[in-house]
Amino acid sequence: MPMKLSIIIPVYRVEATLDRCIESVLGQAIDDFEVILVDDGSPDNCPRMCDEWVQRDPHIRVIHQKNGGLSAARNSGIDVAQGNYITFVDSDDYIGPETYQPLLEVLENNPDIDILEYPVFVFYGSDRQHLLSFDEMTYHDMDDYWYHGQAYQHTYACNKIFRRGLFQEIRFPLGMVFEDANTLPLLLEKAHVVSSTSKGLYYYCANNNGITSTADGEALNMLLKPHVEMIASTRRRDADFQLYYLHVLNIQMDVYELTGKMPILPYRHINPKNTNGVLKLKAILLNLLGINSLCYTNKIIHRVWRNH
């Protein structure tokens, strides 16, 4: 029988945080698991540290490979994972105490769950830190999870446990940033049941050099494209969809402002009654001006504001 959980940890230039990350995983009150460290060609002492951890704990094994990026590292871990379930931990983050054991209990008591999402402390350690928590919910309709559950706001791979079979034909996209936002929709196409829980806690630590802090227009364009594809392919027009559309509209305006590329987001009419505050104003302007003119107006306003 395969073991219960495979924990995949990509490793690259994380000398200062690697031990903390691994210790938080090994400190979990579970036995039936493996830790797969993927040294993605790290040029520092991380390869040696990984080898030392292998000698210290039999749950750990290591893969050394040429640098290929986060997606390549995760994919290498997926390729060799033996668990019924897979989860990911970024090596500059860590897991809260007593996290995996209650999550595995949920999966054991509900064997039909394909994806289990649990709380995450986002940008922990910065002035932007906030706790993203969840109610005990189960979704059998993946559209309901995406739109009503606003999964598009938290596509993170690391605060979820996945049935390994979901990855049979799916891997994280190589050479692409915001890989989680590109991959979760593909996994949802394969999933039948997604649950969220208030149990456990993932610490997503602030990183000033991370993609969310340094993303340029081209990076945001990679984030935009999968959302545009979803909007173009759905017939939904309800209030949940309209909130999602306005979320994607913000990304589109940022991409236009940073790159000058013509908008690719298709126009959808938004009822201002479904929104409030700034979103209501944005919906009214969208309906009056259209996508192109709204993006242009937004760019001009920001330019004037910065030069004021």
Which tens digits make up the pLDDT trace of 6-40? Answer: 999 999 999 999 999 999 999 999 999 999 999 99
Asked whether residue 143 carries a pLDDT value surpassing 70, the answer given is: yes
Asked whether residue 308 carries a pLDDT value surpassing 80, the answer given is: no
Distance CA 77, CA 63 (A): 8
Which tens digits make up the pLDDT trace of 163-221? Answer: 999 999 999 999 888 999 999 999 999 999 999 999 999 999 998 765 555 678 999 99
Asked whether residue 2 carries a pLDDT value surpassing 70, the answer given is: no
* % the chain with pLDDT above 70: 96
Q: What is the pLDDT of residue 305?
A: 78
Burial environment of residue 203 by CB neighbours within 10 A (0 to 12, 13 to 18, 19 or more)? buried
Asked whether residue 126 carries a pLDDT value surpassing 60, the answer given is: yes
Q: Higher pLDDT residue, 77 or 306?
A: 77
Q: What is the pLDDT of residue 211?
A: 53
Q: How far is CA 229 from CA 40, 173, 225, in A?
A: 31, 16, 6
Q: What is the pTM of this model?
A: 0.93
Which tens digits make up the pLDDT trace of 219-270? Answer: 999 999 999 999 999 999 999 999 999 999 999 999 999 999 999 999 999 9
Find out whether 200 and 99 touch, Cβ atoms under 8 Å: yes
Determine the Cα angle at 133 with ends 167 and 172, to 5°: 20
